[in-house]
A = this chain, B = another copy of it.
Amino acid sequence: MNETKQKILDVALDLFSQNGFSAVSIRDICKVVDIKESSVYYHFKNKQAILDELLQHFESIATGLMSQLEQALTITQKTIKGNLFEQTCDCFFEKYLMDEYCNKIMRLLSIERLSNNEIQKIYNYWIFDKPLNFQTKVFSLLISIRIIKTADSKYLAVKFYAPIYLFAQRWLFCGTLTDEHKQFFRGNAYEHINNFFKEMEST
């Protein structure tokens, strides 16, 4: 991939994730990349095309990551290991919610989702529906092999995921993504996961 084009994409995402798509001008991007405005149009058809390419790249990352998690789940189905949860959560937290690229994209999505139908669909899919569906599958599996007793796996998924989503919104999608905020999130999220399973065992 062309070096300048990549730099445009990087800077654009950086600014878009801070101020939103419409609040950032081509000239803002060019000032940071240190090129003239017209040069952008050699690499991209128009401003929208920059956004499209960023989103497409995110979706390919997210798709890969989620299929990786789903694969880990089907393997577990045969050879159960206790650390499945820690593995998947760690992956979901570090390589998704707190990953520099993905985190910026999700910020951009959350700014733009109210004015852009296309983006709203992407947001709903990757931040609500897909994670909840995955978690539902996990609990269905744990129920089917009788590790936990019969229950509504869909509601279990909500109870499990909702606090994580809340902590993420509270600490990972406000202001700059500092190490301190990351630690706040990790602390809260892992405490929740521990409590969740403690309660699971006791019933």
Contacts and interface: CB of A to CB of B under 8 A. Distances in A.
Contacts of A173: 114
Contacts of A23: 20, 22-23, 115
Nearest to A20: B20
A20 B22 contact: yes
A98 interface: no
Interface residues of A, number: 34
Chain A facing B: main interface SS: helix
A170 B158 CA distance: 12
Residue of A114, A117, A158, A163 contacting most chain B CB atoms (<10 Å): A114
Interface of A: 17-20, 22-23, 107, 110-111, 113-115, 117, 120, 123-124, 128, 155, 158-159, 161-163, 165-166, 169-170, 173-175, 191-192, 195, 203
Given A117-B175, A128-B169, 14 more contacts: A17-B114, A19-B22, A20-B22, A22-B22, A22-B23, A128-B166, A155-B195, A158-B163, A158-B166, A158-B192, A159-B159, A162-B165, A162-B166, A203-B203
